[in-house]
Structure 1
């Protein structure tokens, strides 16, 4: 599988729906959409940033908490790497194409907050309850 094969327009639509439900303060619809996302990501492959075969960790909040960036298509990855270069974070970065459970040990790390989809636009955080 190569990067051009990775495309997740359905996930992007679900993320957009969560934002719309949030604007309407419809918590029930948000929870239903999150369940759909949880099902969707279970068997899908994503582009995951790595460095030395370990996931790239983006500091978030306090106390060493972090997110791991993932990308839903090649354009997101290209834009994300441009974002990295603006923030001097692109040195020695690479990617793999894997399922989100590839780094199983991340779930056991209390500092791991989840995966951030499209770091260049900070579109959505897939928190650990959805993984």
Structure 2
């Protein structure tokens, strides 16, 4: 699969729905949408920013916790790389196209909080419970 073939408009729609459900305090709908997202991401490939064949880790707080950025399409990836450049993290110029379970050892790391979708806009975090 190549960069231009990665497209996940369904995931983006589900993320938007999560925000709307959250604004309406509709916890039942949030749980249903999380279940849909969990099923959706199981067999899909995403663009993952890597350095030395390892996922890039974005520090979150000061106690060693981190997120791994993923991207749902080429435009999101290009925006994310611009974000990295603006924040002096531009050494992360490589990417891999993988399923999220490819990096199984991440789930075993207690400091791994999940994947952040579209870091340039910080649209959503796929936390450990969803993975």
Number of aligned positions between the proteins? 131
List structure 1 segments (4+ residues) > 3 angstroms apart after TM superposition.
Answer: none
Deviation of 1:92 after TM superposition, in Å, equals: 4.3
- Residue by residue over 1:72-108, the C-alpha shift from the partner in whole angstroms, topping out at 9 and shown as x without a partner, is 0000000000000000101143100000011110000
Q: What runs of 5+ residues in structure 2 fail to find an aligned partner?
A: none
Which blocks of at least 5 consecutive residues in structure 1 are unaligned? none
Relative to 1, partners in 2 of residues 1:16 and 1:92: Cα closer, same or farther, differing over 3 Å? closer
**TM-score normalised per structure 1:** 0.98
1:26 aligns with 2:55: no
Identify the residue that residue 64 of structure 1 maps to in structure 2.
64
**What are the residue-to-residue correspondences of 1:69-108 with 2, within 5 Å?**
69-108=69-108
| SS of alignment partner, residue 61 of structure 1 | coil
- Structure 1 stretch 72-81 or stretch 87-96: which is displaced more? 87-96
